[in-house]
Structure 1
Amino acid sequence: MTRGQAGAAGARAEPVGLAEYNWQAHSVLVVDDEEGMRNFLERTLARRCGMVQSAADAEHAAALMARLHFDLLILDIALPGKSGIEWLHELREHGYTGDVILVTAFADMETAIDALRGGASDFILKPFRVDQILNSIKRCFERAGLARENFVLRRELAGLAADPTGLVGHSPAIEQLRAMVRRIGQMPSTVLLLGESGTGKEVVARALHQTSPRAQRPFVPVNCAAIASELIESELFGHVKGAFTGATESRNGLFYYAHGGTLFLDEISELPLPMQTRLLRVLEERKLRPVGSEREVPVDVRIIAASNRDLATEVRAGRFREDLYYRLAVVDVALPPLRARPEDIPDLMRHFMGQFSTQLGVAPLPLSHEVVSRLTAYPWPGNVRELRNYVERSLILGCFPPEPHAGGHAPLLAAEDDLELSLAEVERRHIERVTAACDGNKTEAARRLGVSRKTLERKFADWAAEAEYAARRAERRA
């Protein structure tokens, strides 16, 4: 029986207590020269993890790691050429921080100590049981998850301590907005936020709540445009049992859940006129009546409303009540579009990369002067929301696309069969398309992609090495 067969022997019994864990969010690279062991681990993990790859030696494992992200390495110590421990030392020296489980059939105390000094997360002897390796993997995933959560929490707490508004940027426009938020956040007055779609009205509403005496109470956002007109009254005020067809039980409204805190009414211009009348009455009397009830309920809620339309124009057109407009616009705040504060784009990109790199489990991309210059020249019709989506897409692709996708711009991938591709293949095809469009000029292609020529050369070299490795494997199998 080979070492691989010995390890696979434990595959007959399904481990207990692991089924409820979410494995799909993780990726694993198996590095072992035993084909039987590689196949066993691939079969065991492929139906659990989001992605599983394997390599027979450190050289080809490094090629895979150069273009794919792995949350965990399962690394055999006895590899041809460079040993697993030698490669682990190199990985740590070059900044790799992921978990590594070392496995071996031949171990002594000195080897175990060397493995731990090299930064191994666990050390397992072959042959091992399925539940043994799965529990070790699960511990690594959970530990990494806790580390990410702690990083995000520390970052958020540090940000709140430095700036409770949470607004990102240092342009004159954002500094003026930050000062206004600090001032009016302390006041109980109703606030009306005006600005184009995607300028961050909910972010400013949360900042106003966070800097108010109500900060420890609920913040309840409501998108008025997303609720059917016949349901909006029930959603906001609640209803009693039997108030209308389908009201089989009483239900509290969003005003109830926001009691003592802040209710953010986004896209308030979409409220039907009859509902505008009822909202005005609640704001003036500080009481509401659930649908179907004769009883009035007192409410203690601060209202922050927002619209991407000019409400004064809506009033003149008869689509918005004038008295409600003046009741809401005790303080009105105009949010600047992103094109009016392009100097904030690098700060916003770093902010979003910090968020998405943790969520996606990838490293942030370097922001070169060339990339920043190109993106600050773009008009960003979708404002901060468009920039946020662009950063997320860039992290997924592993590079900054030459032009953000917005109205009037061609999408990065138009072919229907591209929907079936892996993220790695999407990145490869996009790079190859851009390089072909530059007639093979890699310097120009790198400029358009927002990466260095060295990075582009490395990717092409990795793909060539991977193709050569696949060809050799095919020859051996033949």
Structure 2
Amino acid sequence: MTPIADAPADAAGDIAFSPHLAGASILIVDDEPGMRNFLMRMLASRCRHVAEAADVAAASRLLEATPFDLIILDNIMAGRTGLEWLEELRGSGFYRDVILITAFADLETAIKALRAGAADFVLKPFRSNQILNAIARCLDRGRLLRENFVLKRELKTLPGGGPGIMAGASLSTHAVRSMIERVGPMPTTVLVTGESGTGKEVTARALHTVSPRAAKPFVPVNCAAIAPEIIESELFGHLKGAFTGAASSREGLFFYAQGGTLFLDEVGELPPAMQSKLLRVIEDKKVRPVGAEREIPVDVRLVAATNCDLADAVAQGRFRQDLYYRLNVVNIHLSPLRERAADVAPLARLFMDELSAQLGVAPLGLSDATLRDLARYPWPGNVRELRNVIERSLILGDFPRDVVPGDAEEDEEAFSQALDAVEKAHMLKVLGEAGGNRAEAARRLGVSRKTLDRKLKAWNA
């Protein structure tokens, strides 16, 4: 039996702490009962879930039933080595981190472990803090990679619009807030319906925020924006060589949302074949990466949204009835803004404060007359249009007259003055960033030095 050099928690060389360890699910695979017992005792009180297996056959059965965040894998075991099983795992679409432990190691084994996809390599005997440090590194790195992926994706796909949908005084908005508070903490699948721009994604985020999954990722997916031929790979991932252009294996969005919420916007646009596969994922809670032979368990809460009538799509044969029933366990319907005029004023004030701070300009006055005009406008683009109008008004210095009526001559003069003010502020900002160097500032602005000099002279700057 391999000797174990344990260390109490208060011993010299403090054990590293990972903020993600408490929520982690870890599988220990080792044929030595002493090593399994040692690791189980050490991790049971620190992690959400810990399981053990004496061989890779038992470990494979556990992986088919439970999603694990990390595997601690012994290399030298009876039957098959850990390295051989690790290579099989990577080939079957298992993407989570694996720490390889062994009492018999050399440089060649370490290199093979890293090439096979091991996240870390720990030599026996080891102390508690050594293995805990390795676990902490893996969990922190994995969490950071997933968060970076989600943030980059949101920067590319997130439409304009802040959390203002939750502001409002109408009975409709009060009902939505109550539904979110009631349903959010539950694991139930939710279907959010409403016209474009009513705030379906913000509602989904609110459901995630009040749920026990709030510390895990919220991953939004616009089903209409992904080409039908790649949507399966986007959602479920793929293995290297699974199709032309698959130069490497890749995790799908279900894996990035592990433990959290996956928001499927415009779900009615899913191709028929993908509808069938999504239904199976909901029922089995497993996904199969493209090119993989095995299914992998996932723990994800689904929130779907659509601006079309899914019941009508079912009647026309464009959407699977069984999938519709699985998605529509709870329906939250968002009324168009024209039907909830009482929400316009609080939303306008919220957007004015938020956007004036973002743009660095003074907020415009929202008089009672202006708010009445805003409330009378039909808002075909709903909350998103209201936000855009507030933003455009801040930039130009006045409200558009198709929304707030006014004098046309005064409008033209105000518009011209607003443009001059925006131009001046921008040029002076760029000049300051260039350290007062006018030639460099002109280059950055894309104007001639002569034009910049003339402008600055007119402004007495």
Superposition TM-score tier, normalisation by shorter sequence: 0.5 to 0.7
Moved more, 369-378 or 270-279: 369-378
* 1:165 shift after superposition: 10
How many residue pairs get aligned? The number is 258
Instruction: Work out the CA distance in 2 between the residues paired with 1:354 and 1:287.
Output: 44
- Paired position in structure 1 for 2:185: 186
In structure 2, distance between residues paired with 1:237 and 1:427 = 46
User: Does structure 2 retain, via aligned residues, the 8 Å contact 1:237–1:288?
Assistant: yes
Superposed CA deviations along residues 175-222 of structure 1, whole A, max 9, x for unmatched, are 111011100001111000110000000010001001111111110000
Counterpart in the other structure of 2:214: 215
Deviations 1:150-180 (A, max 9, x none): xxxxxxxxxxxxxx99711121111111011
Does structure 2 conserve the Cα–Cα contact (< 8 Å) formed by 1:165 and 1:181? no
Q: Is the 8 A contact 1:165 1:211 kept in 2?
A: no
What is aligned with 1:258? Answer: 257
2:328 and 2:301 map into 1 onto residues whose CA distance is 13
State the alpha-carbon separation in 2 of the partners of residues 177 and 351 from structure 1.
18
Amino acid in the other structure paired with 2:213: R
Cα distance in 1, alignment partners of residues 201 and 241 from structure 2: 35
Residue in 2 that maps onto 1:333: 332
**Which residue is equivalent to 2:419?**
424
Cα distance in structure 1, aligned partners of 2:319 and 2:421: 47
> 2:373 touches 2:403 (CA, 8 Å); kept in 1?
no
Distance in 1, matches of 2:234 and 2:225, equals 11
Distance 1:392 1:426, change over 3 A: same
How many Å apart are 1:338 and its aligned residue?
0.3
TM-fit CA distance, 1:422: 9.6
Distance 1:316 1:177, change over 3 A: same
Mapped partners of 1:176, 1:217: distance in 2: 27
Tell me which amino acid in the other structure corresponds to 1:261. G
Q: Secondary structure at the match of 1:246?
A: coil
After superposition, residues 292-307 of structure 1 pair within 5 angstroms as 292-307=291-306
Provide the residue aligned with 1:386 in structure 2: 385
Q: Counterpart of 2:362?
A: 363
Residue 249 (str. 1) matches residue 248 (str. 2): yes
Mark the runs of 5 or more structure 1 residues left unpaired by the alignment: 1-163, 406-411, 429-469
Q: Output the amino acid matched with 2:180.
A: V
Contact conserved, 2:165 with 2:198, CA < 8 A, in 1?
no
CA distance in 1, matches of 2:226, 2:220: 12
Listed one character per residue, the Cα deviations across residues 229-248 of structure 1 (whole Å, up to 9, x for unaligned) are: 00100000000000000000
Please say if residues 164 and 351 of structure 2, whose CA atoms lie closer than 8 Å, have aligned partners that are also in contact.
no
TM-score, normalised with respect to structure 2 = 0.53
State how far apart, in whole Å, the 1-side matches of 2:260 and 2:353 are.
Answer: 29
* Aligned partner letter, 2:294: R
Q: Any conservation in 1 of the 2:216–2:259 contact (CA below 8 Å)?
A: yes
> Distance in 1 between the 2:295 and 2:164 partners?
35
Q: Give the Cα separation in 2 of the matches to 1:180 and 1:276.
A: 27
Q: How far, CA to CA, are the matches of 2:303 and 2:330 in structure 1? A: 10
Aligned pairs (5 A) from 1:275-354: 275-354=274-353
- Structure 1 CA distance, aligned partners of 2:256 and 2:339? 37
Letter in 2 for 1:242: G
Whether the aligned pair in 2 keeps the contact of 1:398 and 1:427 (CA below 8 Å) is no
Question: Compared with structure 1, are the counterparts of its residues 193 and 166 closer, same or farther at alpha carbon in structure 2 (3 Å cutoff)?
Answer: closer
Aligned to 2:44: none
Which residues of structure 2 form unaligned runs of 5+? Answer: 1-162, 405-410, 424-453
Residues 165, 388 of structure 1: CA spacing in aligned structure 2 closer, same or farther, 3 A cutoff? closer
CA distance in 2, matches of 1:196, 1:207: 18
1:350-409 Cα distance to aligned partner (Å, 9 max, x none)? 11112211111011111011111111111101100110100000010111122249xxxx
Q: How much identity, in percent, do the aligned residues show?
A: 61
Q: What TM-score comes out, normalization by structure 1 length? A: 0.51
Q: Is the 8 A contact 2:258 2:300 kept in 1?
A: yes
Distance in 2 (alpha carbons) for counterparts of 1:231 and 1:384: 31
Which residue of structure 2 lines up, in the alignment, with residue 102 of structure 1?
none
CA contact (8 A) 1:166 1:207 kept: no
Structure 2 CA distance for aligned equivalents of residues 315 and 341 of structure 1: 29
CA distance in 1, matches of 2:315, 2:243: 35
Structure 1 pair 180/165, CA: closer, same or farther in 2 (3 Å)? farther
Q: 1:165 to 1:300 in 2, by over 3 A?
A: farther
Q: Moved runs in structure 1, 4+ residues, more than 4 A? A: none
Cα RMSD of the aligned pairs, angstroms, is 2.7
Alignment-derived partner of residue 76 in structure 1: none
1:74-473 equivalence runs, <5 A: 167-404=166-403, 424-425=419-420
Question: In structure 2, how many angstroms separate the alpha carbons of the residues matched to 1:239 and 1:379?
Answer: 46
Give the partner amino acid of 1:244. F
Q: Give the deviation of 1:346 after TM superposition.
A: 1.1
Contact 2:193 2:333 (C-alpha < 8 Å) held by counterparts: yes
For 2:420, the aligned partner's letter is E
Distance in 2 between residues matched to 1:373 and 1:427, nearest whole Å: 28
Amino acid at match of 1:425: D
Q: Distance in 1 between matches of 2:332 and 2:400?
A: 34
Call closer, same or farther: CA 1:165–1:210 in 2, change over 3 Å: farther
The answer as to whether partners of 1:220 and 1:254 remain within 8 angstroms in 2 is yes
